[in-house]
Amino acid sequence: MPNGDVISIHIAPKESAPMETVEEVRAVPGRGLQGDRYYLGVGAFSHKPSPKREITLIEGESLEALQRDYQIELKPDETRRNIVTRGVALNHLVSKEFTVGSVRLRGIELCEPCSYLESLTKPGVKQGLIHRGGLRAQILTEGIIRVGDAITDGAV
């Protein structure tokens, strides 16, 4: 897998709250990102605990395609995803382990857009992000993720 990079990091303190942009965040296995709604147990779907709620990623290229193909501008902090990447095909990481900075993750499933996301953002987002809405992942090792960190498959 070619290396990609973290271009932004976002957390929200509670369900439906605007995402806050941060330069770094602590990833904790079994909990999520410190300060995020799912880490705190107050996310919209916290009543259904699952490793797939620990961290979400989306490609910056997907946001560019949403603008180009659907004329919908969605800022990175509006995606409701924790990590915005550049240069990595996230769909290829389902069922694979990879590293973000020093933190090891396992891709679980695609993070397909839903009506809830569209209700918090803009009309057309659900359609525009089908199959490019990101990746849900499990945190395997604890550590700090920072803007600019490399994303690798660990085989390099």
Q: What pLDDT does 1 receive?
A: 47
Q: Which CATH number fits domain 4-152: 3.30.420.40, 2.60.210.10, 2.40.33.20, 2.160.10.10?
A: 2.40.33.20
- At 120 the three-state DSSP class reads helix
Residue 130 CB neighbour total at 10 angstroms? 10
Give the start-to-end residue ranges of the domains of the chain.
4-152
- Length of the chain in residues, anyone? 156
Widest pairwise Cα distance in the chain: 41
- For the entire predicted model, the pTM comes to 0.91
CB-based contact 95:107 (threshold 8 Å): yes
Task: Encode pLDDT of 86-138 as tens digits.
Answer: 999 999 999 999 999 999 999 999 998 888 787 888 888 888 898 999 999 99
What gap in Å lies between CA 54 and CA 36, rounded to an integer? 9
